[in-house]
Amino acid sequence: MGFPYGTAPLVILLIAIVSGAAAMLSEATSPRADGRPDLIFATFSKEHAAAYQPAVERFELEHGVDVQLQVVSQRALQGRLQSSMQVGADVPDMVELLDGTLGVFAKGPVEDVGFVDLTEHVHREGLYDRLVTSRFGKWSSRGHIFALPHDVHSVMLAYRRDLVEDLGIDVSMLTTWDEFCRVGREVVTKDLTGDGVPDRYMIDLPADGGDALRLLMLQRGGAMFDEAGNVAFDNPAAVDVIDWYVRRVAGEDRISFPAGWGQNLAKAMTDGLVLFYICPDWRLKQFESDVPSLAGKMALMPVPAWEPGARRTTTWGGTGLAITKQCGNPDLAWKLAMHLYYDPAQLGERFAQTLILPPLKQAWTEPQIDAPSPVFSGMRVGRAYADLATQVPEEQSSAYMTLAVAKLSEAYNNALAHFQAGGEANLHEVARNELKSAAGRVRTVMERNRFLRDGAEIPVAAAAGTAKGVR
Amino acid sequence: MNTPNELQWTLIVLAAAFVALLLVSRRWATNYARTVVLIGVGTVMLLPFAWLVCAAFKDAAVLNDYTFLPPVDKISNKTVNLKNFETLLGEKQTVQGPVNFWRYVANSLFLASAGTFISLVFSSMGGYALAKYRFAGRGPLITFMLASMTIPGVVLLAPNFEIIWRLGWMDTYKALLVPGCVSAFGIFLFRQAIIGVPNDLIEAGRIDGCSEFRIYMTLIMPLVRPMTGAFCLISFLGAWNAFLGPNIFLQSQQKLTLPVVLNQYIGEYSQQYGVFLAGTLLAIIPPAVLFLSLQREFIGGLTSGAVKQ
Amino acid sequence: MSNPTLTPTATIPQTAGIAAATAVVPKQQRRTGGGWRWKVRVTPYLFLLPYVLTTLVFFLYPLLHATVLAFFQTSGPGRRVFVGTENFTFVLADPDFRKALFNTCLFAVASIAVQLPLSLGLAMLLNAKHGRMKAFFRLAIFAPNLVGQVFVGILFAMLFTPRYGLFNRFLHELIGWGLEMRWLGDPALVMPAVVIASLWLYVGFNMIYFLAALQNVDQSLVEAARIDGADPWDIFLNVTLPSIAPVVTFVVVTSTIGSFQLFELPYTLLQGFGPNNSGLTVVGYLYNYAFDSGDLGTAAAVGWLLTFVILMVSLAQIRLSRKVSDD
């Protein structure tokens, strides 16, 4: 007699048994069984981990401890940290956080943030003055510093030097965005192949606004949130930037093309479809590895200023190092953090490897900062970024950063739609109104959060007795 | 528009052929049109698969250079290779130690097949009870089940999250298998199929001294094989492709399932689309195999439930 | 989640369930002695025990619990504050929720107005074919269903790439337009892109239902109508459609319920909710609230609102179809 349910269910049952056994077997034989190291340090970046490896080994020898360095996908890491804060899962001792993610963990009461408050340590160590001070804003919530800045991420424009020279453009003249756009129009309207379609665009700007909008606004002196944590993106600078941006993306003054990311970006770069690219230091390594064929054909220039003589840079992104509250040995973790992040002796070599400028000002005198780059036509890229580093605008962290960025983008998109529907005349006013209502939405949502209110009573769940079960 | 391209020419020729046929015979023309439309639709449905297969084997450097595969004279190790699969299947470091991609495959297989089998047993038992027994509370139960099916599962997501957390089932497969071990939907499918089984058979079984469970097992179940097949396929597909539940209830990296992991990879391999396309391709294989082997039962079983009034 | 079989397209034939609610009394109950009688009485309860237990714990209790939770604001499962009806008033006034509701309704309407007629059309085309050809096309058109929403999202995100994506190139070749359309970047195109992807995914599934229904249409009626000189459209309206009406109702109701639960497809396709939240759905809104911000209370409130909408819409549909078939 056969299996009563038929062959298919029998096969399914067998698959269940075999796969279940395989999963259990791999669980049992996994190397996690042999004792927890003294510190587990998780980062989302392969490049970071590779660069830290020698320093970590030195630290292990020096202190006689065992440190495990892990590279983990950013989403997995964030999900893991989030669920640990909600339901108490096991997490690493130290983690590198991506820009903007601190807010995700700071939506509840300050004491519920799952990271060690580093404010006192930072001041005791004098870090507040030794680093580019503006970098702490990103890693603070309600006045408490929860992570250490890894970088400055000043921004320049990378460009196809060969094509730009062929077109007879002198980049040293592109000191303001006005001049940049004027030249850009000439480039876009120059139809090289005569098919009526533009062959070259001046600059890569995401058509949906993306991060570019925000970083241009920062350059212009606007900010998403003020220092007190209030919504601030309905400022005049943001209105001007939206007005400007919309006209670069659509209509007769268009100079931009959204080149996107990854392979699409690489293709646009090699084809020369776009000439200039917004380029924080973390993008240098990507450009080097993704479009090797452009070595020697690229170069960098400071970002054009909004007004003659004004700020020639902005900032994009960042990484911060946090110590989780579950960490068994926070002092050791702090030592490792200092060793990895702010030991000038290592930072020169680190820069040579990652091309990311450290925020420790002392480190900028290391010889590697002045090394010429073969990819960027012999430019001393480290020096170029260091020269701009102190001009980098400050950005505040917020639990509502994601929402605010989405709403900013919404205001921009509505303004764009208005512009495309022929509303050129009152674009400025529309942008202002859109920003106002977008910021208003964020304020409403923030005011609703009972857990963020200062001095508010924060009751633990009614059924606290049972709720402690897993913690 | 400029001069027509190849695709447009093909369409023009096909349309011209239709007009020509129409002049000869209306019947031929309709038949011809039917076939052409079906071939067209079939092609459109299968093209993304073709693209997927090609993209998974193309080298990252040439992914966007060719829509499908490079022309024959450009095919070499540099353009078409297994690099994406090698990257995908290699061991990877995670928060809880290294995990191999095959582990996620095993997890997905286990959750989908164990879930399918358990719910097959419980749903068919429930379906049999509703089809062939009269008992107190039967009417209200049926009404309740019908009503419960209009309530979307996501409504229960938030409270279930709390229940799972209180039970201490966070990050275990119990959190997924137990709540899903039987469904009103499955019970109804089997009830529909079992109602058609003659009662004499059950009576004969009882007279022969079979236990009630034995009657269900050995007399009823073999008679509803098409429904069993259909149920297995639907259930397996549902569990295999499930995202929300595993994403919320599972936390350890080594316990995750394919949809969750591939969604994670989007961020990580944003420079190498080929890697998660290779993963997607691998993820389609098990349900495809299951479908091809159960195709007949599936169509027969599923439609019998819906069509019979 | 808790019910892996409740995928959008796979829901119960409800009309069928009600219609067949007459079961058979085992004759043994009358004929045989006490032992058997007892066994026969207890067995159905035992057989239904797993369902009853899981339903109590993971359906009824959460349902009641969701009602309580909806009046609290929470920070993860650990902290909560009573806020009265604020969750409901906030959500109902939130433009993002309205947008989510609008997108979801738009998707539901598109599913029913575009996808179902296409499914029916394909089923009718296929119904005229026989043998291998039929089997092959049935397989080809059904094949996308093997790919889950997450995988379709990943796949179509690439097919929709401006300039290089297969879909954009195809459109360009076909009608000379759309090479640089930013399907996933332009708020106005996001929902159409989601509809296109879901069309590819689901058109084959409902086709299977229609195909089966069409096979049961009485061919002699069709022949008779044809002999009477009715044209194909009349035959479709007066013979075919009435006889497949129950299946149409079933497919419409299940598709609606499925459409209202849309989430994974746009979420993976857009890697979030798209520019201007143009791909935000009600379930996406709920997910965002519950698991990104840790506010299970608002999520529960949204869940109840969604249930209410679904109930209203399906009741209206069932009532409408009854009315139509009564006429």
Instruction: Read off the pLDDT of residues C35-68 as tens digits, 9 standing for 90 and up.
Output: 567 777 888 999 999 999 999 999 999 889 889 9
A117 close to A102: Cβ distance less than 8 angstroms:
no
For residue A362, the model assigns a pLDDT of: 93
Q: Please identify every stretch of chain B with a pLDDT value under 70, giving residue numbers as ranges.
A: 1-2, 93-97, 267-268, 270-271, 301-309
The single residue listed with the structure tokens 């409403």 is: A444
Task: Write out residues 50-69 of C within 8 Å (CB-CB) of A.
Answer: none
Interchain proximity A23–B106, CB inside 8 Å: yes
Q: Which tokens hold the place of A287?
A: 């450009």
Considering CB atoms only, which of C77, C188, C276 is closest to A409?
C276
Q: Are A442 and A234 contacting, i.e. CB atoms less than 8 angstroms apart?
A: no
Q: What is the pLDDT of residue B305?
A: 53
Say what the pLDDT of residue B253 is. 80
8-state DSSP, B90: S
Q: Average pLDDT of chain A? A: 88
Q: Cα separation of B14 and B10, whole Å?
A: 6
Chains A, B: CB contacts within 8 A come to: 137
Task: Return the SS3 of A234.
Answer: coil
In the prediction, which pLDDT does A111 show?
A: 84
Shortest Cα distance from A241 to chain C (angstroms)?
18
pLDDT of res. C271:
84
Interchain pair A23, B103: CB under 8 A:
yes
**pLDDT beyond 90 at A87:** no
DSSP string, A61-117: HHHT--EEEEE--HHHHHHHHHHHHHH-----SEEEEETT-HHHHTSS-GGG-SB--
Q: How confident is the model at residue A463 (pLDDT cuts 50, 70, 90)?
A: very low
Local confidence band at A36 (pLDDT 50, 70, 90 cut-offs): confident
Residue C11, pLDDT > 70, answer no
- Asked if A263 and B117 come within 8 Å (Cβ–Cβ), the reply is no
Helix (H, G, I), strand (E, B) or coil at A298: strand
Per-position DSSP letters for C183-227, written without gaps between them: TTTSHHHHHHHHHHHHHHHHHHHHHHHHHHHHHTS-HHHHHHHHH
**pTM, to two decimals:** 0.81
Confidence of residue A31 (pLDDT cuts 50, 70, 90): low
pLDDT tens digits, one per residue of A211-224? 999 999 999 999 99
Q: Is the dihedral of CA A465, A467, A468, A469 positive or negative?
A: positive
Q: What is the pLDDT of residues A225-239, one digit of tens each?
A: 998 889 999 999 999
Among the ranges given (A3-7, A147-151, A374-378, B271-275), the one the predictor scored with the smallest mean pLDDT? B271-275
Using a CB–CB cutoff of 8 Å, tell me whether B100 touches chain A. Answer: yes
Check B107 against A80: CB less than 8 A apart: no
Residue in B151, B156, B140 with CA at minimum distance from that of residue C63? B156
Reading the block at residue B89, the tokens are 């299947």
- How confident is the model at residue B271, as a pLDDT? 63
Residue C32 in this model has a pLDDT that exceeds 60: no
pLDDT in tens, C145-175: 888 888 898 889 888 987 778 888 888 888 8
Model confidence at C86, in pLDDT bands (50, 70, 90)? Answer: very high
Q: What is the pLDDT of residue A32?
A: 53
Of the candidates B121, B168, B270, the beta carbon closest to that of A470 is on B168
Best CA proximity match to A383, nearest among A365, A370, A374, A366: A370
Whether the Cβ atoms of residue A184 and residue A203 lie closer than 8 Å to each other: yes
Average pLDDT in the A434-447 region?
A: 93
pLDDT at C24: 44
How far apart (Å, rounded) are the C-alpha atoms in residues B14 and B29?
11
Instruction: Say if A130 is an interface residue toward chain C (CB within 8 Å).
Output: no
| The pLDDT value given to residue C6 | 33
Question: Measured in whole angstroms, how far is the alpha carbon of residue C292 from the centre of its chain?
Answer: 25
Decide: helix, strand or coil at residue A339. helix
From B40's Cα to the closest Cα of chain A, the distance in A is 29
C154 contacts B276? CB cut-off 8 A: yes
CB pairs under 8 A between B and C: 367
Model confidence at C290, pLDDT cuts 50, 70, 90, reads: low
The pLDDT of A160-186, averaged and rounded, is 95
Cα distance between residue B263 and residue C157, in whole Å? 12
CA dihedral A82, A86, A90, A92 (to 10 degrees): 40
Using the predicted structure, report yes or no on whether residue A294 has a pLDDT greater than 70.
Answer: yes
Region of A316 (left: φ > 0; alpha: ψ -120 to 50; beta: rest) is beta
Terminal-to-terminal C-alpha distance of chain B: 53
Per-residue confidence (pLDDT) for residue C40, from 0 to 100: 77
The shortest CB-CB distance from C143 to any of B46, B165, B244 is to B46
What pLDDT, on the 0 to 100 scale, is given for residue C35?
Answer: 59
Mean pLDDT of A50-61: 91
- What is the C-alpha radius of gyration for chain B, rounded to an integer number of angstroms? 26
What's the CA gap between B107 and B102, in Å, rounded? 9
User: What integer is the mean pLDDT of A369-381?
Assistant: 94
Residue of C nearest to B53 (CA): C155
Closest CA in chain B for residue C249: B306
Write down the residue that tokens 């208003």 correspond to.
A440
pLDDT of residue B94: 63
Please name which of C78, C79, C97 lies closest in space to residue C87, comparing C-alpha atoms: C97
Verify whether the Cβ–Cβ distance A264 to C294 is below 8 Å.
no
What is the per-residue pLDDT across C230-262, written as a single tens digit (0 to 9) for each?
888 888 888 888 888 888 888 888 888 889 989
From chain A, the residues in CB contact with B65 under 8 A are 267
Mean pLDDT of A432-436: 96
Instruction: Check CB contact of B90 with chain A, cutoff 8 Å.
Output: no
Between A448 and C289, whose confidence is greater? A448
Separation in Å, CA of C211 to nearest CA in chain A:
25
CA C194 to CA C202: how far, in whole Å? 12
Q: What is the pLDDT of residue B309?
A: 36
Nearest CA-CA partner of A451 in B146, C80, C237: C80
> What is residue A360's three-state secondary structure?
strand
Structure confidence at residue C327 (pLDDT): 60
Phi and psi of A36, rounded to 5°?
Answer: -80, 135
Kindly report the number of other CB atoms within 10 A of residue B138's CB atom: 16
User: Is the pLDDT at C23 greater than 70, yes or no?
Assistant: no
Average pLDDT over residues A284-292: 90
pLDDT at A120: 94
Listed range (A141-145, A188-192, B154-158) with the worst mean pLDDT: B154-158
